[in-house]
Each structure stands twice: as structure tokens, then as C-alpha cells.
Structure 1
Amino acid sequence: MSATLQAPPATTRPVIAHVGIPGLRLVRSEIRKITTTNAWWLFGIAALVFTGLALFINMSEAAQHLDRARDTTAVFRPGRGLGAAEIAAARAEFAQLHDLHLQSVNAAGNIFTSGQFFGLLLVMLLGTLVITNEFQYQTATATFLTTPQRTRVVFGKLVAVLGLGFVFWLVSRAVSFAAGLIFFDNLGLTNSLGEWPVQRAIIFNLVAYLLWALLGFGLGTLMNSQIGAVVTSMIIYLGGFVGGIGVFNLIRNFLIHGDWVLTSAVVMPSIASQVMVSPEKMYPQAAPWWVGVLVLTGWSLVAGAIGIVINRRRDIA
């Protein structure tokens, strides 16, 4: 009589349910890539330095403007040879310069958003580096092979970029808030944080940080060269700030005579950013603040959409 040995039944491997937020691992991975390089803390130190410098300049100018506005002995004296319209304009300007409430609101808007000029440039460059680093150091192949679903990878990068933009905004605003509150307390004036123009400037200052980070990410996808992408980003940003209004002024003075030409300068991302975060109008012909919001949002969404499409189709071999 022979006995037959039977193998024990195979045990099935238990299915472990997914735990956590889908895509969070990718976001952590992208943040880890950034924080393991020197770029993030170098950019962070630069942001703090520029915020401190901007605070010094803004508070110095605000102190002068507020001292002039508190001068109750000042009397309007029109210049000689001025017409009725010129006198009326000069009187209106004099009234604004000596309106303490208006000057306090303007000062608060500038102080509590100090450092945004270079801060926005830095987050834009970070957004560019997040995507160009993958191809500069040839890590894109490993990234996309590890996670073949490229859309998830791209969205993970986007979330990481927006998160970095928020962190830069938060740190800069914490520094400017602390300095601003002390400044207004020493002058014995209200900090104007209850005023909508100041609140709007702070809110859309955050929006600007996020949108410029997104715009930088989109620009980074358009160029294979990291240096080329960084230089192009700086030209778009700094060129728009420095020469944008000047170009439109030349067009208005020599080609098309109309105030709408200066209003249309808002189509440039840098001008749109300034328009939307200014507590008051940047210049008399400037577009409303909400137009700046729509324009910069449009540029950023287009750049982000192009970035997603290009990364889905780009050859990584």
C-alpha cells in the first residue's frame, strides 16, 4: 500500500488596500528632489535678504509720505502761469498727498507685501528648475519609468511647485507683518489691515506667488536647456517690469495716440502682476485690478497646460 503526499494548498497573498492620499508619494518625492539640492536654501536666503531690503525702502518712503500727510499747516499754493485744468489737477494731487487715511492705506499695502518683486522672480525660477533639473541631470528616464503614468508625475511636480510658492510667500509675509506692525505702532497710526485695498493686496500677493511659480514651470517645459529656460524666464519677468510701461508709452506718444494703449499694457504678465497687487491704481490709465488677475491667471494656465502636454509626449530615451 502506497501513500500519496499532497502539497499544501497555496496561500493567496492578501490584498493590502491603498492607504493615504493618491499622488502624495509623488509630491513628497518632488519636494525631496528640491530640498536635497542647494537651490532651495540659496533661494530662501535670497528671498529673506530681498524682503528685508524692500522693507527698509518701503518703510523709509512710507515715513516720509505719512509725515507730509500729518502736516496740518500745509497750504495749497498753485504755481504761476497754470491754467484752470492744471490748477485743478495740482489741487487734487495736493489733497491726495495730504490725505492721511489714503497714505496710510498705501503704506500698509506696500509694507505688508514687501519683497514681492524679487520673491516672485525666485519662485518663477524654482518652478523652472523643478522640471529642467530632470533633463539637466538625466533623471527624467528613471522618474517616468518608475511611474509610467506621466500625468500623475507632472501633477505631482505642479503641486510641489505650488507648495514651494506658498512657503516662500508665507515666510516673506511673516517677516513683513512683524516689521509692519511695529512700524505703524511706533508712529501711532492704524495698520490699515481692516481696509479692503490692503487685504486685497495681501490676498493677491499670494495668488501672484502661485501663478508665477506655475508660469515658471510651464516655461521650463518649453526649452530643453536649463540655462536657456532660466535666462528666458528672467528676461520675461525683469524685461516686463523694467521696460513694459516704457514700450507702451513710446507706442502711445509716436504711433497710436490714446490712453487705451497704456491700459492695454496689462497684457504683459509682469504688468498684470503689478496691477493686481497694487492697493491703488499703478498709474491713471492702469486697468482695474481684476483684469490683472484674469490676465496673469490666463498666462499661467496656458503655460501649465502646455507643460502637461509636452511632458506627456516628450521622448525620454
Structure 2
Amino acid sequence: MSFAAATRSETTKLLTTAMWWILAIVLVAYIGFTAAGLGFVFSASAAGELPGQSQQAGVPTGDLAPVLYSIAASIGYVFPLLIGTLMVTAEFRHHTLTPTFLATPRRGRVLWAKAFVGIGIGVVYAVLALIAAVGPSAGFLTGFGQSTGLDQSDTWAMLGRIVIAFALWVLVGIGVGTLVRNQVAAVVIVLAFTQFVEPIARVAGMFVDGLDAALRFLPGAASDALVGTSIYTATTGSTSSAEPLDWWVGGVVLLAYAIVLMVLGHVTSWRRDVD
């Protein structure tokens, strides 16, 4: 089977299951609700229309638009990571890899086809996430007389980098799924690392000298660097003495995670016999 045929096969397998659109709906709802809530609070605070005081604790100062728009990536990256993981582990779980490998004995071609399709679904998720984040945020910013930043090239460049980040996160997920065959184990690892391990480590890095320099290279931190800003760093502040990574370095680091995981998965798991 040619690469084009393998790509069509992977696209069909993805789009004929419910997992991609269920995750898409949750993604839009989660990011949209968060962006609307924070957009109202931040915009009203900047305009001095929140009760008590004009600047509430934890509310970022300066240009609010990039901070609010970055919600798409800073809290939404787990969704492309999950869909990438499920694209592979679902095949192990439902034993659909056997006919796939019979049709395409060159397993590397199958993995490349999954990566190609994964980039496409990552772009789709990124567009949905940006609509969910930018729409309500820009609405509240306009309503409270704040700049939306949509007339600035820097804002659009950041939105473009969010699209790149989503595509890379899908590739990381494919690497995780290739390396960890068991679907439940892979999902637990993804959620545990993204929601607990890395956030705790990054907070700890603020208080341990020298640790923050190493933690810049964690995948979530690299993704934030690629985007250029993050709701977490903007609201909590950072006592880090280490210089943040340049945006392109963050992208290279995230790509390196994807490549290393996919290569390890191909060598240790993908080439093994399947049931």
C-alpha cells in the first residue's frame, strides 16, 4: 500500500470513530467557558469595574489579549495530546492493527501516515480552540474598552504558533501511544504528567535554585515558550532566574520529544507482533 493509500486509511479510521469529535466538543466547551470567565474578570478588573479595587490579586497587568488568547494552548494542549495517543492505542485495544499491517507490511509507513493525519487533526483542534478562546475574550475586551490586539501582527504570529504547538502535541501523543500499547495506561500517564507531575515540578522550580533552568525543557514549558505567553505565568508570576526559551527553541524541544518517543516506540513496540 502506498503512502497516499495509507494516509487515506488512517483518515478513515480516525473520522469513523466518535473519539475525535467528542474530544473536540469537550475542547471547545472547556476552553470557551474558561476564556469567557477569565475574559470577564480580567477585562472588568482592567477597566476598574470589579467591586473593591480596580486591580484584583492574581490578575495580570499590561496587554491582556495575548494572555487570554493563549488559554487555547496553555490549558487546551492536553486534547491534541490525547487524540494522538488514542489514535494509536485504540488500534492495539481493538486489534485493528493486524489487518492494517497485513495491508501495509512496511510498518514505518503506517506510523508516518498516522503522523501526517495527526498533524491535520491537530490543526483542526487548534482552529476550534482559538475560536473558543479568542471569541469570548475579544468580546469582553471590547465590551470593557480594552484592546483586542487583533490589529497587531504579533497577536496573529502568536495564534499561528498555537497552531504549530497543537500539531506538535499530536505527534507527542502518537509517540506516547506507540511506546505504551495499553490504552488505559497511556491515558493515565498523559493525564498524570500533564495535570500533576509537570505543574508541581514547575512550581517547585520557583523555589529551588538552579532547578528552573532544567525545567524550561519540560514539554509543557517548551510549549509555553513556543506560544510566547501562558495564563499560568501571567497570573501567578514567576520568580525564575532562568531566561525563558526562545519561541523557536521551544518548538524544537517539543518536536524533539515527539521524535524521540516515536523512534523509541517504533523500535521497542511498533515492530513487535500484534494479536
Which of 218, 223, 226 lines up with 1:268 in the alignment?
A: 218
What is the SS of the residue equivalent to 1:135?
helix
Residue 168 (1) aligns with residue 125 (2): yes
Cα offset, 1:312, TM superposition: 5.2
Distance 2:213 2:45 in 1: 27
Cα offset, 1:225, TM superposition: 1.2
Which of 58, 67, 71 lines up with 1:114 in the alignment?
A: 71
8 A contact 1:240–1:268 mirrored in 2: no
Which of 38, 55, 58 lines up with 1:58 in the alignment?
A: 38
- What corresponds to 2:15 in structure 1? 35
8 A contact 1:34–1:40 mirrored in 2: yes
Larger Rg belongs to: 1
Identical residues among aligned pairs (%): 25
Distance 1:25 1:310 in 2: 26
Distance 2:203 2:139 in 1: 37
Which of 75, 86, 109 lines up with 1:152 in the alignment?
A: 109
- What corresponds to 1:44 in structure 2? 24
**CA deviation map 1:84-128 (0-9, x unaligned):** xxxxxxxxxxxx94xxxxx23xx1112223343442111111111
Residue 279 (1) aligns with residue 229 (2): yes
Cα offset, 1:32, TM superposition: 1.7
Cα offset, 1:309, TM superposition: 3.6
List alignment gaps of at least 5 residues for structure 1: 1-17, 75-95, 98-102, 253-257
**CA deviation map 1:244-295 (0-9, x unaligned):** 2233245x1xxxxx3x432321121122222332438932525234343332
Q: TM-score, normalised by structure 1?
A: 0.72
Judging changes above 3 Å, is the alpha-carbon distance between structure 1 residues 271 and 210 closer, same or farther for their aligned structure 2 residues? same
Higher relative contact order (CA 8 A, sep 6+): 2
List alignment gaps of at least 5 residues for structure 2: 55-59
What is the aligned-residue RMSD (CA, Å)? Answer: 2.7
Residue 202 (1) aligns with residue 182 (2): no
1:113 partner letter: S
Moved more, 235-244 or 281-290: 281-290
